[in-house]
Copies of this chain bind each other. A is one copy, B any other.
Amino acid sequence: MAENTRTQGTVHFLKHESDVLKGNPLGDPFVRDVIVYTPPGYEQSKEEYPSIYCLTGFTGRGKMLLNDNAFAPNLAERMDGLIGAGKIKPMIVVMPDCFTYYGGSQYINSTATGNYEDYLTHEIVPFVDEKFRTIKTRDSRAVMGKSSGGYGSLVMGMRHADLFGLVCSTSGDCYFEYCYQEDFAKAYRAIKGDPNAFIKKFWESEKKGKGDFPALNVIAMAACYSPKGADFDLPFDLETGELRSEVCRRWLTNDPVRLAERHADALRSLKLLFIDAGTHDEFYLDIGARILSRKLRDLGVEHLHEEFDDGHMNISYRYDRSLELISERIFTAETQTRGEKG
């Protein structure tokens, strides 16, 4: 641990005041951290660097990516390590905060949570490009993330391929029939007929119950996928638990497998589209990834699809794979040969 001699980048904590989030329905902060990692050598040079946006999973926000764990490097340490070992080239990493009172925003616009998709694309990208020496083209801008962050990355690749030319989704929410449905039953039990009372109680106590997170998750997803003004429709009847098919249908329009069809051209334009998942993912996202990969193949979208032997939790070591692929592709000209697999 001769840490003093280690190549080290710099972590910048910036505050950004958002117009988009001002007046958001949940009263969540509109002044938020934007955390930016610049690689070793950044200060000394005049060079421009590619940039990577790393989106956290549900219940996360940018600064969690810097949490200390003695056994797993945080994202800044990971960058230092990979750059130091010559496995990736120096790049800038951006860690935005799209957390909400419901636990997350899925990085999309919603009347019930706020316009986090606009926030990220209209405000944070220009803000970072202005403050840092990024290469300001989509071919030099990547987006990656795990779980809900993988979902957000896929959405960026579909609806904002003009901004992000490289997309990596690790265990991203996909094929909602499998990844959310079990939580419906658990959420129904935990919510006990009153989502507002549930949420209030959830925030009042630091000690959380077993069914609290499935319930929070379903509420948040409802706020993202089936908002009703500033409120939302749950996918089940509050009294009996019976599924509400019209709400489920609204959810499905947000499923990457379904979104892919409507955004195939955008996906085909990407320099890198990488999806992976663990073969015993507790939310069955390995199956989701297989279904998405098949859909992409059917749509003629080149991509890489990988599986790894693990579940959904404690898999930040998989960032290495995304970062290496991004590094490999982002420095090449756009007219490369792509997609050997998939």
Contact = CB atoms under 8 A, between A and B. Distances in A.
A329 to B, nearest CB: 23
Interface in A82-125: 99, 103
B178 A241 contact: yes
Interface stretch (A44-52, A146-154, A265-273, A283-291): A283-291
A127 interface: no
- Determine the main DSSP class of A at the interface with B: loop
Contacts of A63: 68
A220 to B, nearest CB: 12
A14 interface: no
Contacts of A294: 239-240, 242
B314 A208 contact: yes
Given A27-B1, A59-B71, A291-B242, A284 B208 contact: no
Interface in A287-308: 287, 290-291, 294
A291 B239 CA distance: 9
Contacts of A130: none
- Size category, A interface: 35 or more
Contacts of A67: 64, 67-68
Contact of A70 (B1, B103, B178, B284): B103
Contacts of A3: 29
A41 to B, nearest CB: 23
Contacts of A129: none
A103 B69 CA distance: 11
A182 interface: yes
Interface string A16-41: 00000000000111010000000000
- Which of A72, A241, A316 has the most chain B CB atoms closer than 10 A to its own CB? A241
A141 interface: no
